[in-house]
Amino acid sequence: MSKQKEELEHRLKLRNIKLSDFDDIRKIMVSAYKTQGMTWTKEEFENQLNAFPEGQICLEDNGKVVAVALSLIVDYSKYGDNHNYDQITGYGKFDTHDEDGDTLYGTDVFVDKEYRGLRLGRRLYDARKELCENLNLRSIIAGGRIPGYSKYADQMSPRKYIELVKNKEIFDPVLSFQLANEFHVRKVITKYLPEDTDSRAYATLLEWINIYYEKDEKLIGNKKTIVRLGLVQWKMRRFNDVDDLMQQVEFFVDTVSDYKSDFCLFPEFFNAPLLAEFNKMDASEAIRNLADYTEEIVNRMRDLALSYNVNIIAGSMPEYDNKKLRNVSYLCRRDGTMDKQYKLHITPDEQSYWGLQGGNGIKVFDTDAGKVGILICYDIEFPELSRILAEKEMDILFVPFWTDTKNAYLRVSTCAKSRAIENECYVAITGSVGNLPRVENMDIQHSQAAIYSPSDFSFPHDAIIAEASLNTETTIVADVDLDLLTKLRKAGSVRNLAQRRLDLYSIQWKNKR
Please report how many Cα atoms fall inside a 13 Å half-sphere around the Cα of residue 383, on the Cβ side.
11
Q: How far apart are CA 242 and CA 273, in angstroms?
A: 10
Q: How far apart are CA 55 and CA 343, in angstroms?
A: 53
Q: 405: which DSSP letter? A: S
183-187: long-range contacts at Cβ-Cβ below 8 A with a sequence spacing of 24 or more?
Answer: 183/140, 183/142, 183/144, 183/207, 183/208, 184/208, 185/144, 186/81, 186/141, 187/81
Q: 317: which DSSP letter? A: E
DSSP assignment of 428-467 equals EEE-EEEB-TT-TT-SB-----EEE---STTS-TTSEEEE
CB 254 within 8 A of CB 308: yes
Angle between helices 242-258 and 294-308 (to 10 degrees): 30
Number of Cβ within 10 Å of residue 162's Cβ equals: 23
Q: 278: which DSSP letter? A: G
Which of 247, 304, 254 has the alpha carbon at shortest distance from 271?
247
The β-bridge partners of 208 are 140
Which of 356, 362, 369, 357 has the alpha carbon at shortest distance from 265?
369
DSSP assignment of 112-169 equals -GGGTTS-HHHHHHHHHHHHHHHTT-SEEEEEEE-GGGGGTTTTS-HHHHHHHHHTTS
Q: How far apart are CA 121 and CA 175, in angstroms?
A: 12
Angle between helices 383-391 and 406-423 (to 10 degrees): 30
CA 372 to chain centre: 12
CB 451 within 8 A of CB 465: yes
The β-bridge partners of 105 are 72, 141
377 is catalytic: yes
CB 212 within 8 A of CB 225: no
State the virtual CA torsion across 321, 325, 326, 331 in degrees, nearest 10.
40
195 is catalytic: no
Phi, psi angle pair for 444, to nearest 5°: -120, 155
Please report how many Cα atoms fall inside a 13 Å half-sphere around the Cα of residue 43, on the Cβ side.
2
Q: In 80-115, which positions are buried (b, 16+ CB within 10 angstroms) versus exposed (e)? A: eeebbbeebbbebebebbbeebbbbbbbbbbbbeeb
235, 340, 343, 417: which one is catalytic?
Answer: 343
343 is catalytic: yes
Which of 143, 139, 125, 163 has the alpha carbon at shortest distance from 205?
143
132, 207, 235, 268: which one is catalytic?
Answer: 268
58, 132, 264, 377: which one is catalytic?
Answer: 377
Active site residues: 268, 343, 377
